[in-house]
Amino acid sequence: MKFAVVVFPGSNCDRDMAFAITEALGQEADLVWYQEANLSDYDGILLPGGFSYGDYLRSGAIASTSEMIEQIRQSAERGKPVLGVCNGFQVLLEMGLLPGAMLPNKNLKFMCHDETLIVENNQTLFTDFYQDKEEISIPIAHGDGNYYCDEATYRNLRDNRQIVFTYGSNPNGSVADIAGITNEQGNVLGMMPHPERAVDALVGSEDGLRLFQSILTHWRNNHAINA
C-alpha cells in the first residue's frame, strides 16, 4: 500500500507520519509537496499536523484553499482512506469534508501530553484493530483543538456513528468529548490526537499503530476482492 503524506508550508509532523508508515507499518510513503501533488497513484492520503501557513486566519483555513485540495476531495469521493491529524483535521473541516469547526482550547494554552481516548466505533476502516470502548493512549499537541458543532450536527454524528474517538478526560472543551470523527461514508477520519506518535513502545505507546494496521488490512481485503 502506498501513502501520500501531503506537506504544506508549516507542516511539522510530516516525517513522523512517514516514519509510522515506512518503519512501523512497513509500507510505502512519499512526502508530497502541495504544489507538486499528483495523488492519483496513491492508495491512502495522510494530512499531517503542524501549523500550515502559520495558522493565519484560522488553523487550516489557507491550506484548505490550495490548488491540490480538489485532489484530496476526489480521492475521498473514490473511497480512498483519508486521514487528517491535528492540523490535518482542521484542514478537512475547513474544506468541508467533515462537519464542524475548531476553536481555541478552553484554557487558551497550547497542550502537549499523552491523553486517554475511548474507541466509540470499532467498525470503521480505521478502527478494526481496536475493541469497542477500549481505552488507548495517544498524545495530543494543539492550541486550537476545541471541536465545535451545533446540536443538529452532533445528533447526526451520533446517530450515524461518525464519532470514532472521544477523550477520557476532555482536555480542550470539545463538544461531547469528541476527539475524532469520520464522514458518513466512513473513509475520511479527522482526529486531533497524534496516532503517528504512538507507534513504538520506546515513546510510551503503540496504540496508534493499530489505526494504521486497520487501514492496511482493509485495503488488502478490498484489493483481494477486486483482483
Active site residues: 86, 194, 196
Instruction: Report which of 136, 147, 206 is spatially closest to residue 171, judged by C-alpha positions.
Output: 147
9 burial (CB, 10 Å; 0-12 / 13-18 / 19+) is middle
* Contact partners, residue 69, CB within 8 Å, separation at least 6: 63, 95
* Contact partners, residue 160, CB within 8 Å, separation at least 6: 184
Contact 149, 175 (CB under 8 A): yes
Between the alpha carbon of residue 30 and those of residues 14, 96, 108, 222, the distances in Å are 10, 25, 35, 22
